[in-house]
Structure formats: structure tokens, C-alpha cells
Structure 1
């Protein structure tokens, strides 16, 4: 800030120094003027001017220092009160702009909330004909046709479900119920939902759950498992998906391992990024890059750590590590 202040006042400083040098020059060429006395006066003037600059720096930069430290939260109370007419002009403009941005922000927020409510309402309305469609598909006599239709129905159902939860994630803290949750019923429900797809691809499940409970929210854990199982089924063919659990350092972990095509090492650090699909299978139009991103986002809110291990052609393993009870209390009290 000192450098900026000196650059702002550079013309005044140059003018002052020029005048002092002019006085000394006149004394030097005019022998009737005592040069020593003028030199002493110039020296005192420089000291007074330096003290004046110091005082003005303290006063003039107080407003701009607070403006520079402003956190851009539309709250002007943290900015120092203006002490000069120019500072008052700047403050007035800031106040007017802040009020306008607050109005626009409130309007946009209302529009987003309305759009979200309309989308959630639409999703719920679409679920009714989807349920009826499922019942009609199940009554078909042609097994091959029924299997294909159930697969397409499942894709639509999963996309709608993902969209519904994506809109709920920003407010999921209002919907959490943390308790010791049985893992097996949640896994079985998610596997049964994918049954027709798994049968079509010849995929089975090998489930071993020595650690049967974990501290979490059952509904949102189901959403995470839905994304991981969907990925495992999508990229596997005629193989088993191994699901196992255990404990390590008093933490429960749950691992879902498939033996599909795997993930390229250079893609592994980015698989949880929003919209990232793959650099190897970049032409895969079925991939949206949202499933793992949303799973990580929900897991972070539940204080669940997700780790991924993979190698091309050897499959992929996702490990969920649940928090300990004391950890969860510490996280929620922060």
C-alpha cells in the first residue's frame, strides 16, 4: 500500500522537490542570497513534508485498505468510513452497486428455487407413468423383448433418480438421519433394482459382510452404492462383482470390486471430477461423468472417504471408509 500511495502522490512529491531545487538553484546563482541558510530551510521543509506524507498516508489509506480487504459478501459495514469527498463518491457508488447486485441475486435465487421445485415436481410426476410402464413390461410374454425394455426402463429410472438426488444434495443436511445402519438390506435393495440389467449381462454378486453395520444415513448411502454398482455393472461383462466389508483402525470399510475393463492410470485422479468421462473411451456417449462426482459429493457430506483402485483390463475397486462415532460427533460440531 505504501508503494501505491507514493505513486498516487508522485506528481505532488516531484513538484515539491522541484520547488526546493529551484530555490537552491536561485541561491546558487545569486550571491546576495545566503546559500547556507536556504539549504537549512530546504532541509527543514523536506523533514516537514516527510512528516506530512506520513500523516496523510495513515489517514488517506485507511479507507482503501479496508476496501482492499473487503471479502465481497455485499456487506459494506467492514469498509472504513470515508474521510474525504472522493472517498465518499467511491462509497456512494459501491453502496448503489451493492444494492443492485443484492436485488439481482435475490431475483436469480428465487428463479433457481422455482426452477428446482418445478423440476422436482416433474420428476415425481414422471415416476408414476414409469411405474405403470414397469408393470406392463413385466407382463410381456416375449422374454427377449421384456429384457430389452426393462434395460431401457432401468436407464431412464436411474437417470431420473440421479437428477432428483442432484437437486437435493445442496439441502441434504436437512434430510440426514445418522445411525448404525445395516449394510446388507441396502445392498440387496440396490442389487435387486439392477437385476434385469445384471441378468442380461451375465453378472453375479459375491457378497461377504463381516462388518454388518456402519454409522451413516441409509437413504444417502443407498444413493452412493447405486452409483458405484451402476458403474460396476456398466463396465463389466459375464463376471462377478465382489462386495466385502471389514474394519480397520476402528473404522468400517465397504469395498465394491468389479473385473471389467478398468480405468486408465492417467484418468484415475480425475474420475470424481464433474463431467469427466474418460480419455480412452472418450467417444462413449452413454457416459455423463456425473455418477462418481455426485457419489463423492454425498460421501463428503456423510464424512465417508472413497478410494479407487484400478488397472486397465483388471477391473476397479471402490472402497468406502465410514467415520467412527467420535469422528462424526467432532465433524458435526465444527
Structure 2
């Protein structure tokens, strides 16, 4: 009954128009003194045709209503076809619905991909952080049995704690990278200050692994976001230390070019380098290459995060490397096109 009342409400204008026409014909018949039997038969015939069309329209209305109710009850809607459109407006609505459904499905696919990537990353992260935690537990056990070894073990403890801190910071930055547009604070910053802070953070790592650090002339200002460019530099320093053997060297300097406006930061190491066939894919998420197969703890996430952050900062990053010789990472901060997402 309720649905019938809704349909009558929708057709109220048509019903009112029908009675207005009937009244107009009645007035005309009256003014011209025409027999009312003819008017009566005409009204009956028109009512019969109108009633048939009304019932047909109501059946279509009811079927469409029931179909939409079933769609509403579904937990997930992937497509919606409200049968063949009767007019241009309904066709337009169908096209609009199709477009919205397509956008919704694409959004769902992107969300599923993000969730899958995040699960994979957390799995790798959990596996990675277990190593320093296990090492810490072992060291504490050794200290309990051999307290005289404390001075040696403290250095090891500090290194493992540094790794834990690094991995925790990495996972936090990974989460922020998904929506970092509101986290930007662009300004001109002293490049040497940013680099020295990063080097200071890794000072104990350089000392512990006996790696020499050389800083060139970094006296320039760059338009960037201090926090995120620091994150990138720290990730690159971590890689340089990780793949450089004892007595190796890490150099940080500005690349000399013919253009005075160029501000290209170079982080160069004398590490194991990267295979030539691996270079095109080094920024892909999860790609570890030949070096990653050698280092079972490599996750292939560091350079991916760097590339993603650099793109959002509108800088450029590139890598040159020769296996067995070393790696040179270049960050071009000459200009920045600030994009609000």
C-alpha cells in the first residue's frame, strides 16, 4: 500500500492534468449543447487507456523499486544496472551511476593494494627488527654470566639499540608517506646544517664500522622540507654504511656543474656497488637485487621510500654505481615545484 501511495504521489501531476482536460471537454460540450453521452463514452475510453498505462507504469515502478532494495541490502555493490532507461534523464543518471561505480571500484582496488603493501612491509619490518632484539637479549645474557665483558658489550648494545631506533623511525615515516602533503613546511634551509645533523646521528656507526666520512663544500641554501629531506639523507647514509666495508669512505659534497644555480647533493661511497642490470629497478618497492640476496636481512624498502619522498618534494634522485667499486647517489634540489595533493 505504501508503495502505491508513493507512486500516486509521483503521478499526481499527470492525474490532475487528466481531470483538467476532462473538465475542459465537459465545458466545451456544454457550451455547444452536445450530447453528454458522447462525452461520457469518451471519458470512459480515456480512463480505460489511462488506467492500463497507469497499471503498466506501476508494475515497472514496483519492479525497479524491489531491484534497488536488493542492491541496498548487499554488503558490497560492484555494479548497478537499473534496466533500460526510458528517457534521456534516466540515461544520464545511469551514466552518472556507472561513473561513480567505476571510481568506487578503482578506489577499492587502490585501498586493497595499499593495505596489501602495508601488510607486506610490516611483515618485513617485524622480521628485520627481530634481529637486533634477539642480539640485545643475547648480550644481556652474556653480561649476566660475564660481567667483566661489560665495556665491550656496551658498544654492541648501543649498535643494536641504534638499529631498533632506525627501524621504528622507518616504519613511522612509511605511514606518514601515504599522506604527507599536509606535513610539508617548505622554506630555505642551510644544506650543510641538514647534512651535518644526519652525519652526527650516524657518527657512532661510522666509528664502529671504521668508515671514513668526508664532507665537501655544502655552503648553500635549498628550498625544501627539512624533515623529509633529512629522512632521505639518513636513509642513504644508512645504505652507504651498510654496504661499505671497514676502512671504506663515504663522501658528501655538491656536484660541480656549469650552471651556478644547480644544487645537486652527492652521497658517494666505496662500498660493494650495484650490478648494472639491477640499476633500473632499484627504486621499486621490495626489489633487493643481487646485493639483497647476499644480505638476507635486506627488505628493498629504503630506496623506495627515498624515491617516494623525493617525488613528493618535487626534487630528483638518480644513482650511478659500479659493482665492486662503489655507489654515487645524486639528489637534485636546484628547484622545487610545490604541489598540494
What's the TM-score bracket when you normalise by the shorter of the two chains? 0.5 to 0.7
- Structure-1 residue corresponding to 2:162: 154
SS at match of 2:308: helix
Greater Rg by CA: 2
1:118-139 C-alpha deviation (Å, 9 max, x unpaired)? x9xxxxxxxxxx9xx9xxx9xx
Runs of at least 4 residues of structure 1 off by over 6 A? none
- Structure-2 residue corresponding to 1:82: 85
> 1:127-146 alignment to 2 at 5 Å?
142-146=150-154
- Structure-1 residue corresponding to 2:183: 175
300 and 82 in structure 1: CA distance in 2 versus 1, 3 angstrom threshold: same
Shift of 1:302: 0.7
75 and 245 in structure 1: CA distance in 2 versus 1, 3 angstrom threshold: farther
Counterpart pick for 1:187 among 186, 192, 195: 195
Distance 2:268 2:255 in 1: 14
Q: Does residue 1:212 correspond to 2:220, yes or no?
A: yes
Shift of 1:144: 2.1
> 1:236-275 alignment to 2 at 5 Å?
236-237=244-245, 238-246=247-255, 248=257, 249=259, 250-275=261-286
Q: CA RMSD in A?
A: 4.1
- Structure-2 residue corresponding to 1:332: 339
Shift of 1:160: 0.7
Counterpart pick for 2:229 among 206, 221, 228: 221
SS at match of 1:214: strand
Shift of 1:91: 5.0
333 and 91 in structure 1: CA distance in 2 versus 1, 3 angstrom threshold: closer
SS at match of 1:319: strand
Is the 8 Å Cα contact of residues 228 and 256 (structure 1) preserved in structure 2?
yes
SS at match of 1:307: strand
Is the 8 Å Cα contact of residues 212 and 245 (structure 1) preserved in structure 2?
no
Shift of 1:195: 2.0
**Structure 2 portions without partners, runs of 5+:** 1-77, 123-132, 141-147
1:67-109 C-alpha deviation (Å, 9 max, x unpaired)? xxxxxxx999xx9x9348xx98x959x77x949x68x95xx89
Shift of 1:219: 0.5
- Structure-2 residue corresponding to 1:291: 302
After the TM superposition, which of the residue ranges 282-291 and 311-320 deviates more from structure 2?
Answer: 282-291
Shift of 1:171: 1.7
Shift of 1:283: 4.4
Distance 2:207 2:218 in 1: 27
* Aligned pairs, number: 227
205 and 280 in structure 1: CA distance in 2 versus 1, 3 angstrom threshold: closer
1:241-273 C-alpha deviation (Å, 9 max, x unpaired)? 110014643221100000011001011111111
Is the 8 Å Cα contact of residues 264 and 330 (structure 2) preserved in structure 1?
yes
